[in-house]
Structure 1
């Protein structure tokens, strides 16, 4: 008798490989785009022509490949969910993560720093031609044991769009992006528990939001960001030791610390081992955190690092069914 259906585990594994490829390609494209757009490296007519062709052709093709990989990963996950649901419908009742009967198959929220890092990479930001008007802010509504909680992802600095260099300077001075904060207040009910996850400038934004007290922030996670000293909310900070952004002096040293310094009791700072070489620290800032996140997850899961395993408890409080997701645009617009 021939088998009908698909191997769910193989589908999920292949989807994971697609997602990993997306992450690597996105990191590479961001790095190349930063270099290609740097006018201090090369000036003149040929340089202008090259940059125009890069933006109009090469970057568009690379982003099309990224989107194709994303769609492939999503399709594989959907097929795995459908196959699993069909199998469980034949063999028994399916239960939801909150212990009740499940009427739908929901994607699960991030399980560890690797998933959080990948989600940030997938959040539409102004650098991506497919989402030039997007802010780099994504909000997920997560159902955890019958309680709605919220995860906010905030992307890093881009050449154009909401998270630009001017906004970066403003953020390091402690100022909020009012349009985005007001959008978060509109999307998130008062008092609901929130986890803020940010990369680079997004990590600074996350800490500024937490410091403002305008949301009920219970957990902060940052990748490649300096550390704000005047808030004492549980936080996990990943800093690559060769990353120029986290190793250099902050613009506002009274508010932010460079390196691994922190005056907050609930903050855990995890730094990578020194590298043998680096290219101005930019490569590490763009591509160093996927590997660090994997190492952190491994240490937390195997209890190989007591700080990691202890601070991982804060992440578990936000693990559940994703029942809604909104990407906010540069004007603070977005709805459930």
Structure 2
């Protein structure tokens, strides 16, 4: 049966609020077509070959009663709990082992049949036999309670898992912050070390420049001193020796002459040469000179006496003032 034929024939399957699609050899539920008839709240899909319900089936929130007995269902959609209006659900003779946790949200469910399904032990025990109306109602009630307990347990596990994940995330973030703090401290330390290194290099450069300047200054002073010494030496070397003055030469000649004359006079007066004809005039001249000197002795004494008196008077007048 094609989808088009389903659409065309679906009206023929509707009677009042019921849609009878049983024994139609269906392998899937015509969800899109059923959605077109929101007043059809009762759907019979029994005795088909349906293996699964599509997620879109959970959007048929107008459904009140659904018969899916004698199909090949192995699982139900996770959002089955969205069927908030569902009161009657027949899942007899399928291949279900578990129910989705959202099953606990079917708070309107009053009737449930899970017979002849390979249910897990705990769920099979809760579901019971459902051999009559009363047992099927009890099945619905007990299964809802069981699924609610499983939902609570799952919520607690999920909450615990979330808390654990949050704790792991918190520890991870703490480690990340600690790692970032260490990296920041390491970068800060590296910057400080780099700054200290640059400062030392700067100080070393300044010290080297200062040493160079000092060395240069000493070298310049040494050169200056050496230059001054060389200049003095050159000046000394280049200074011309004073020429002997003519007066000095004449003075020396006169001195030599006088010494010579004195020697001749002494020889003529003190030796046997005084009787010689050569020494006679010399002795006469010496005698004349001595006589003149004796005459001048009185004059010199008188001059010295006058000078002494004048000096004495000058000293006395200065003391009185």
TM range (shorter): under 0.3
Structure with the bigger percentage of strand: 1
- Which is greater in Rg? 2
Structure with the bigger percentage of helix: 2
Q: How does the TM-score come out when normalised to structure 2?
A: 0.26
